[in-house]
């Protein structure tokens, strides 16, 4: 969306119902209105789920703090990223409350990047506190109309910053599950840089014939790289654990990090990119939609 249109867009958005917002956003990004009565494409079905599939478990799993309880119950605490600190008060985010190791500061109730802390001396703490205070005021549901965010109690969490032996941020493996089974895997490489690519693979680690790219801040997209990502040694374990976590849901994306062979859970996402990003070639949106049952 053009920046000059965003204030007007945010002003009128509260005037519309969840269904109307879903239709408007879909038309804006996809170029046509979705069929929400008899959805056939994957993006249409994700929007149908956004409006019709709502349970307290969705809220818990969208909460980056409370989802830890779900993970511990379903597959065990050993897959959780170490949690150093949590609070609802931004003024608590001071050097004394942070560990003496690399960590990441983020909020539990929205979708966005965290603050990397590798040296406490390099951080403008008043600025961080102010930014966190503003984030805690926001209800992400109001922006996206994704119901699972509506009733999350905002909180700040500080976790261990995952890095490999060379100090690099690990690849982000996203396993997309249809009706409790992993259908496809996307791998995000170079996140947060101009060289952010996203490759798509089958569960057998063969390249998919489609791409589902997100827009980047530089105006480009997370298109696939010509270079293949190596098959992770933990792939079979990722698939097994993802299907345990996905069992209660029709569609869910389970994110993982493989850090030098150690597997860490990332997050659960119910509506990949809000269900408003084109899949290319276009016929793959229909093909994938046929594989997802809403019954």
282 HSE (CA, 13 A, CB side): 3
* Cα–Cα distance list, 47 to 33, 55, 64, 248, 260 (Å): 11, 16, 22, 18, 37
Q: Where are the domains of the chain?
A: 83-163
- Identify the pLDDT of residue 156: 98
> Per-residue pLDDT averaged across 189-196, rounded?
80
Query: What is the per-residue pLDDT for 250?
Result: 98
Q: Which two tokens stand for residue 98?
A: 């942070």
The pLDDT > 70 percentage for the chain reads 96
pLDDT tier for residue 29 given thresholds of 50, 70 and 90: very high
Closest CA to 257 of 267, 245, 248, 266: 266
* Closest-CA residue to 264 (of 160, 112, 168): 160
Does the pLDDT at position 65 exceed 80?
yes
Does the structure show a pLDDT above 60 at 261?
yes
pLDDT higher at 9 or 101: 101
Angle made by CA atoms 55, 57, 63, in degrees to the nearest 5: 115
HSE-up of 60 (CA within 13 Å, CB side)? 13
**What average pLDDT score do residues 128-132 get?**
97
For the entire predicted model, the pTM comes to 0.93
* Residue among 205, 184, 217 at smallest CA distance from 287: 184
In the numeric block, the tokens 């696939």 are attached to 224
- A 10 A CB-CB count for 192 gives 12
Q: How far is CA 260 from CA 52, 99, 101, 118, 166, in A?
A: 40, 22, 18, 20, 10
pLDDT at 4: 54
Which residues 6+ apart lie within 8 Å of 267 measured at CB?
Answer: 64, 67, 255
* pLDDT band, very low/low/confident/very high, at 146 (cuts 50, 70, 90): very high
């Amino acid at each position: 969306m053009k920046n000059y249109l965003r204030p007007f867009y945010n002003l009128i958005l509260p005037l519309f119902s969840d269904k109307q917002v879903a239709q408007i956003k879909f038309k804006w990004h996809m170029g046509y209105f979705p069929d929400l009565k008899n959805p056939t494409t994957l993006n249409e079905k994700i929007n149908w789920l956004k409006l019709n599939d709502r349970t307290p478990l969705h809220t818990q799993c969208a909460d980056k703090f409370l989802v830890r309880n779900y993970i511990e119950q379903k597959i065990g605490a050993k897959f959780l990223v170490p949690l150093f600190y949590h609070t609802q008060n931004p003024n608590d985010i001071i050097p004394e409350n942070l560990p003496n190791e690399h960590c990441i500061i983020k909020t539990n109730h929205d979708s966005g990047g965290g603050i990397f802390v590798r040296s406490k001396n390099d951080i403008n703490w008043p600025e961080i506190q102010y930014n966190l205070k503003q984030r805690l005021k926001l209800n992400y549901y109001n922006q996206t109309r994704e119901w699972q965010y509506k009733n999350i109690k905002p909180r700040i969490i500080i976790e261990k910053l995952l890095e490999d032996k060379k100090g690099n941020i690990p690849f982000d493996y996203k396993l997309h599950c249809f009706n409790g089974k992993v259908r496809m895997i996307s791998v995000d490489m170079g996140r947060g840089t101009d060289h952010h690519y996203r490759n798509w693979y089958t569960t057998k680690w063969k390249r998919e014939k489609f791409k589902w790219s997100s827009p980047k801040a530089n105006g480009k997209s997370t298109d696939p790289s010509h270079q293949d990502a190596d098959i992770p040694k933990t792939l079979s374990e990722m698939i097994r654990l993802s299907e345990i976590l996905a069992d209660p849901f029709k569609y869910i994306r389970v994110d993982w990090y493989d850090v030098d062979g150690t597997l860490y859970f990332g997050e659960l996402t119910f509506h990949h990119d809000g269900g408003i990003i084109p899949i290319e070639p276009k016929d793959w949106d229909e093909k994938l939609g046929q594989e997802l049952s809403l019954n």
